[in-house]
Amino acid sequence: DVCGAALTHRADDDPETVRNRLEVYRRQTEPLVAYYESRGTDLRRLDGDRPVETVQSSLIGALGREGGR
């Protein structure tokens, strides 16, 4: 806390919530990724841990390679 204001804690940012989100990802999303990869689907991965403009540009580029679909 640099500015001296009171810190707030978001309810969706506690360790239990994060653990739950990761577990849901492992149970529900990872199997889908594996399924589509095993079928040879043109699955694209984008790094969302970058500035919004960079992610948006990557997404538009990935969609553009599909012929505008």
pLDDT at 69 > cutoff 60:
no
- This model's pTM is above 0.75: no
Question: Strands (DSSP E) along the chain, which ranges?
Answer: none
Q: In this structure, what token pair is assigned to residue 61?
A: 């580029």
Dist CA 8 CA 26 (whole Å): 29
Q: In 20-40, which positions are buried (b, 16+ CB within 10 angstroms) versus exposed (e)?
A: eeeeeeeeeeeeeeeeeeeee
Q: Quick: pLDDT tens for 12-24.
A: 888 999 999 999 9
Q: Quick: pLDDT tens for 27-60.
A: 999 999 999 999 998 888 899 999 999 999 999 9
Asked whether 55 and 47 are in contact (CB, 8 A), the reply is yes
pLDDT at 67 > cutoff 80:
no
Q: In this structure, what token pair is assigned to residue 22?
A: 């990761």
